[in-house]
Structure 1
Amino acid sequence: MTRKRETVAEFARYLRTETVGGVLLLGATALALIWANSPLSGAYTALRDLRLGPASLHLDLSVGDWAKDGLLAVFFFVAGLELKRELVIGELGNVRSAVLPVVAAVGGMVVPAGIALVVGRGQPGIEQAWAIPVATDIAFALGVLALTASGLPASLRVFLLSLAVVDDLGAIAIIAVLFTAHFNALAAVAAVALLALYAYLQHRRVTTPWLYVPIAVGTWVAVHAAGVHATIAGVALALLTRVRRDHYEREAPALRLEHRLQPWSAGVAVPVFALFAAGVPVNGEALSGLFRDPLALGVMTGLVVGKVVGIVGASALAVVLRVAVWPSGAGPRDIVAVAVLGGVGFTVSLLIADLSLDGAAAEQAKAAVLLASLTASLLASVLLVRRSRAHQRADTEG
């Protein structure tokens, strides 16, 4: 029994590494693309569209919807826990350090959205699809950073994490505003009441999961029933979780939860979502069609070009105006490399494409997201390796 527990613990530790999370995400994406473009594509579609859950609670969702509404809530809960920890006791506790990724995230949302609107003007669906290039994929971006940037300052990872979480929160806010087909005020009140109860229990130092798990599930159900995208429940719960350790505790609740849920997020939630979101038709005709479709071109240009211009421009302006400082040990060239990595939209961009478009238009937009994310990750890898070597040379000479 002891050996079995040690094996499980070791496997969980392995899943917590960002490199492994990135590899699993890539593997799930590759499997989705191969499966959806194979003679077994019918089985893929049938599984993705299979409906499960109690209809009485309006939870008879497809497997694909369970992946993007349910599993991504776990992913955003874990990301929210890490962000709050950095804001309260980490590098972002300093106001000027915290301002930079927030300003950069705003620039990285506004410019890509503007480019998508300009390039895709006049196309059906652009009124909502402009939001597709707004987001940065946290898991994918951090995985690429872990693989390619071992010599870079740790502050850059915090900058990228904060930027990605902030613009994903922005994307979720856009989802809440644009894609709420109906709003159930009673369910929204129930969600707020459950969140208030969660915060009260945190304040009273209650630790039993027998209370927290039903509250978390109930909050997710209430947010979903309210008509708001259910991933918001994960973010809200994370931001209400206590991050400071009391003198009698080995670790704070936020760190404990992050430690326990990170393997599930990296090993199950994100890969399963990718498996059911990334299965789009990819062939010569489909790829050539991307460069003839203004909406798809707007998505790709927004991610690959708009992200860099928005993040670097906003960051430089904030530093020049002295409202922010560069990350510790890093400079403008490092920010450029990270900004290119910001063009990896993937998870949330695929989610918005699913929500904003239907049929062939949705498939085109998702293919554009995949191609743009691949391009951005490859370009960023080259730049990050070069910057990593430059920092290693400077350390050696120093």
Structure 2
Amino acid sequence: MTTPTRPKLFSRGEWPEAQRIAALLRLETVGGALLLIATVLALIWTNSPWRDAYTSLSKTHLDIPALGIELSLAHWAADGLLAVFFFVVGLELKHEFVHGDLRDPAKATVPIVAAACGVAVPALLYVVAQLVLDGNTKGWAIPTATDIAFALAVLAVIGSHLPSALRSFLLTLAVVDDLIAITIIALFFTSDLNLVMLALAIVPLALFGWVARTRSHPWWLLIPLGVATWVLVLNSGIHATIAGVLLGLIVPAARGADGHSLGERIEHRVRPLSAGFCVPVFAFFAAGVSFVGGDILAALTDPITIGIMVGLVVGKVIGIFGSTYVLARFTRADLDDDLAWSDVFGLSLLAGIGFTVSLLIGELAFGPGSEADEHVKIGVLLGSLTAALLATIVLRRRDKVYKRIHEQESRDDDLDGIPDVYQRAQDGGRAGTTGAK
């Protein structure tokens, strides 16, 4: 009698999807570099003799009274530019549901459970730290989010030869993570809800979806409809980034005769704007924390700072790696033949890079410019840096192993442009038993 084949975790996907992930990683590498530059510039400026000019610039107002908008430049970055970032997140999430790992319930279970546990455990550890150290539990959601741009950028640099299944897992995990984070923002960080404005927002949102689906109207109609949705959501009291996610989710993901969907074409045009401008500008205004004249020791020993660092560095690993390992044992699944559990551990460390959304939640929880918010920034920066360094130590060693395997596979491949391991997988054979463990 034939022994049943045990299910595999992180098996190779399809070649077109692997190509898309590789292209996305290249773009996010550039975006992550710009994000890092913007963060460093903000830190240098806020700790220079001209730091008052930074504060003045952040507080400069750019109001549009006719639309009921009264926002400083820093708030425009958080409420406006980040809406573009979350629009891309919505597009990516829709793609994952239609074409990616989330379309297959069996494959979707692992990243969804890992993302949920990767949110719950850091939040729990943060609350425990506040209770033990007599701190403030208002910021419980700060260490829950993984920064897509930074995490993928670091992975692209330190893990260029890691299997595409791992990179796809991190991308799917981060997208689901962001969806949970934006839901938390909507449910727990919404004040003075205006139901009339919220109801009115449904009108341009529905029209946006109708125009996107019919394709019988000029594409530029999507822009004013998207802006109208954003304005109404902003005035409803819900954080305006929610509008970005909703707009991204209703863009059709069905592919046409050319092999591309409208969502993919829009993402191709909007992602460079998001990664190259919107997110770095937000980081520039959000990451500026001054150490001049402050009590550094008090900041580092603040329960808020400690809770965030513990949540990002320890909580993410326990939540993601622990849930994945337990799920594998519960379902009697094995890792794909190419992988080792140290790869998943390194990826779990990498998910501890929480920057963009963590800083946003910190502002919503404690108020921008407050002492607690300054300590949030320190905790997020140090926690993310620690997670990135630890992940580098683990994944760089593994990347050398996969580099040797990749070189061997390249020598064995034929000249049709598609690696043989993907062709064998499509033919139902075992894709690349390499003994990487």
Q: 2:273 aligns with which of 253, 264, 270?
A: 264
Q: Please, what TM-score do these two structures have when normalized by structure 2?
A: 0.83
> CA separation in 1, counterparts of 2:293 and 2:166?
38
In the alignment, does 2:242 pair up with 1:219? no
In the alignment, does 2:17 pair up with 1:33? no
In the alignment, does 2:315 pair up with 1:313? no
* Number of residue-to-residue matches in the alignment: 385
Pairing 1:246-325 to 2, within 5 Å after superposition: 246-247=256-257, 249=258, 251-282=260-291, 286-322=295-331
Q: Deviations over 1:210-262 (max 9, x none)?
A: 32111100111111111111111111111111112222x46311111111111
Pairing 1:133-144 to 2, within 5 Å after superposition: 133-144=143-154
Question: What is the letter of the counterpart of residue 362 of structure 1?
Answer: D
User: Which residue is 1:84 aligned to?
Assistant: 94
> CA separation in 2, counterparts of 1:219 and 1:321?
44
Pairing 1:1-398 to 2, within 5 Å after superposition: 17-121=27-131, 126-206=136-216, 208-247=218-257, 249=258, 251-282=260-291, 286-322=295-331, 329-358=338-367, 359-395=370-406, 398=434
Tell me which stretches of 4 or more aligned residues in structure 1 moved more than 4 Å.
13-16, 122-125, 283-286, 323-329, 394-398
> CA separation in 2, counterparts of 1:205 and 1:88?
19
Matched-pair contact (CA < 8 Å) for 1:159–1:327: no
Larger Rg: 2
Per mean C-alpha deviation after superposition, the further-off stretch among 93-102 and 278-287 is 278-287
> CA separation in 2, counterparts of 1:361 and 1:52?
26
Matched-pair contact (CA < 8 Å) for 2:94–2:249: yes
Q: Please, what TM-score do these two structures have when normalized by structure 1?
A: 0.91
How far the C-alpha of 1:323 sits from its partner, in A, is 9.2
> CA separation in 2, counterparts of 1:199 and 1:323?
42
**Are residues 202 and 65 of structure 1, via their aligned partners in 2, closer, same or farther at CA, if it must alter by over 3 Å?**
same
Structure 2 stretches of 5 or more lacking a match?
1-22, 409-433
Matched-pair contact (CA < 8 Å) for 2:174–2:351: yes
State the SS of the aligned residue for 2:131: coil
Matched-pair contact (CA < 8 Å) for 1:91–1:155: no
Matched-pair contact (CA < 8 Å) for 1:100–1:326: no
Q: Deviations over 1:91-110 (max 9, x none)?
A: 43222111111111111111
How far the C-alpha of 1:15 sits from its partner, in A, is 11
Per mean C-alpha deviation after superposition, the further-off stretch among 66-75 and 373-382 is 373-382
Question: What is the letter of the counterpart of residue 123 of structure 2?
Answer: A
How far the C-alpha of 1:137 sits from its partner, in A, is 0.5
Aligned-pair RMSD on alpha carbons? Answer: 2.3
State, as a whole percentage, how many aligned pairs show the same letter.
Answer: 48
Structure 1 stretches of 5 or more lacking a match?
1-12
> CA separation in 1, counterparts of 2:339 and 2:209?
37
How far the C-alpha of 1:55 sits from its partner, in A, is 2.8
